[in-house]
Amino acid sequence: MPPRAKKDQQLGLEASLWEAANRLRSNMDAAEYKHVVLGLIFLKYVSDVFGVRRAELEAAVQDRKSEYYMPTEAARQAILESRDEYTAEGVFWVPEGHRWEDLRRAGKQTDIGERVDEAMRAIERENPSLKGVLPKNYARRELTPETLGGLIDTFSRGDLTAAEHANLDVLGRVFEYMVSAFASAEGKLGGEFYTPRSVVTLMVEMLEPFNGRVYDPAMGSGGLFVQADRFVRAHGGVRNDISVFGQEQNPTTWRLAKMNLALRGIDANLGPQWGDSFHNDLHPDLRADYVLANPPFNISEWGAERLRDDVRWKYGTPPAGNANYGWIQHMLHHLAPTGTMVTVLANGSLSTQQGGEGEIRQKLVDEDLVECIVALPSQLFFTTQIPVCLWFLTKDKTDRKVKSERAQRDRRGEVLFIDAGQLGNMTSRVHRELSDEDIARIADTYHAWRGDPDVKPYEDVPGFCAATTLEAIREHRYVLTPGRYVGSEAVAKDGEPLTEKLARLQDVIRRGFADRAELQQRVLEALDGLSVSSDD
Secondary structure string (H, E, C) spanning 27-92 = CCCHHHHHHHHHHHHHHHHHHHHHHHHHHHHHHHHCCCCCCCCCCCHHHHHHHHCCCHHHHCCCCC
Residue 406: what pLDDT? Answer: 65
Q: Considering only 200-204, 403-407, 454-458, 486-490, which range has the smallest mean pLDDT? A: 403-407
Q: Which residues contact 83 (CB under 8 A, 6 or more apart)?
A: 93, 126
What is the model's pLDDT at position 461?
A: 96
Residues contacting residue 268 through CB under 8 Å, at least 6 positions apart: 222, 225, 244, 245, 246, 261
Q: If you ran DSSP here, which 8-state letter would residue 318 be given? A: P
Spatial distance between the Cα atoms of 161 and 52, rounded to a whole number of angstroms: 10
Most confident of 32-36, 155-159, 163-167: 32-36
Question: What φ, ψ does residue 380 adopt, rounded to 5°?
Answer: -85, -25
- pLDDT digits over 55-92, tens only? 999 999 999 999 999 999 999 999 999 999 999 888 99
Instruction: Please give the Cα distance from 329 to 323 (Å, whole number).
Output: 10
Count, residues in the chain: 536
Q: Where are the domains of the chain?
A: 11-185, 193-486, 492-521
Smallest CA-to-CA distance from 400 within 392, 410, 390 is with: 410
Read off the pLDDT of residues 184-240 as tens digits, 9 standing for 90 and up.
776 555 455 678 889 999 999 999 998 999 999 999 889 899 999 989 988 888 878
Mean pLDDT (the chain) is: 86
What confidence category does residue 31 fall into, taking pLDDT thresholds of 50, 70 and 90? confident
Is residue 406 a contact partner of residue 454, using CB atoms and an 8 Å limit? yes
Q: Is the pLDDT of residue 250 over 80?
A: yes
Task: Tell me the pLDDT band of 402, cut-offs 50, 70 and 90.
Answer: low
Q: Confidence band (pLDDT; 50, 70, 90) for 174? A: confident
Torsion of CA 446, 350, 325, 199, to 10 degrees: -50
Q: Please, which pLDDT band fits residue 141 given cuts at 50, 70 and 90?
A: confident
For 454, other C-beta atoms within 10 Å of its C-beta total 9
Of the chain, the percentage scoring pLDDT greater than 90 comes to 59
Give the start-end residues of each E strand in 446-526. 465-469
Q: What is the pLDDT of residues 418-470, one digit of tens each?
A: 999 999 888 877 778 899 999 999 999 999 999 999 899 999 999 999 999 99
Q: Report the distance separating Cα 163 and Cα 49, nearest Å.
A: 7
Distance of CA 531 to the CA centre of its chain: 70
Whole-number Å distance between alpha carbons of 466 and 483: 10
Fold of 11-185: Ferritin (1.20.1260)
Q: Is 128 exposed, middle or buried (0-12, 13-18, 19+ CB in 10 A)?
A: exposed
Residue 383's pLDDT is what? 63
The arrangement of strands across the sheet holding 268-269 comes to 268-269, 242-246, 212-216, 288-293, 335-346, 388-394, 370-375, 414-419, 465-469
pLDDT band of 27, cuts 50, 70, 90: confident
Contact 192, 250 (CB under 8 A): yes
Q: Does domain 193-486 have CATH number 3.40.50.150?
A: yes
Q: Could you tell me which residues come within 8 angstroms of residue 273 by beta carbon, excluding any fewer than 6 positions away?
A: 132, 251, 254
Question: Which residue in 439, 440, 430 sits closest to 378, CA to CA?
Answer: 430
Query: Sorting pLDDT into bands at 50, 70 and 90, what band is 263?
Result: confident
- pLDDT band at residue 386 using 50, 70 and 90 as cut-offs: confident
Task: Tell me which of 501 and 443 has the higher pLDDT.
Answer: 443
Q: Is the pLDDT of residue 534 over 50?
A: no
Which pLDDT belongs to residue 108? 84
pLDDT at site 294: 93
157 phi and psi angles, rounded to 5 deg: -55, 145
Contacts 24+ apart (CB under 8 A), 174-177: 174/10, 174/13, 174/14, 174/17, 174/41, 175/38, 175/41, 175/42, 175/45, 175/259, 175/260, 175/263, 176/223, 176/226, 176/260, 177/2, 177/5, 177/10, 177/14, 177/15, 177/17, 177/18
Range with the poorest average pLDDT among 26-40, 293-307, 344-358, 365-379: 26-40
Beta bridge partners of 108: none
SS3 315: coil
Tell me the residue type at 309. D
Q: CA torsion, points 333, 191, 17, 102, in degrees to nearest 10?
A: 60
* pLDDT value, residue 504: 57
What are the backbone angles phi and psi of residue 238, rounded to the nearest 5°?
A: -125, 165
Q: Comparing 258-262, 467-471, 495-499, which segment has the lowest mean pLDDT?
A: 495-499
Q: What does residue 497 show for φ and ψ, rounded to 5 degrees?
A: -55, 140
Closest by CA position to 288, among listed 315, 269, 265, 313: 269
R_g over Cα of the chain: 28
Contact 490, 501 (CB under 8 A): no
> Is the pLDDT assigned to residue 285 strictly greater than 80?
yes
Average pLDDT over residues 351-370: 96
- For CA atoms 325, 343, 296, 311, the dihedral sign is negative
> Cβ contacts of residue 114 below 8 Å, gap of 6+?
138, 139
468 neighbors 416 (Cβ within 8 angstroms):
yes
Q: Dihedral, CA atoms, 89, 91, 92, 96, nearest 10 degrees? A: -100
Which has the closest alpha carbon to 489: 509, 468, 446, 460?
460
Q: In the predicted model, is pLDDT for residue 501 greater than 60?
A: no
Range in 38-52, 136-150, 357-371, 419-433 with the lowest mean pLDDT: 419-433
Q: How many CA atoms lie within 13 A of 79 on its CB side?
A: 19
Confirm if 215 and 334 have CB atoms less than 8 A apart: yes
CA distance 152 to 316: 54
**153 close to 126: Cβ distance less than 8 angstroms:** no
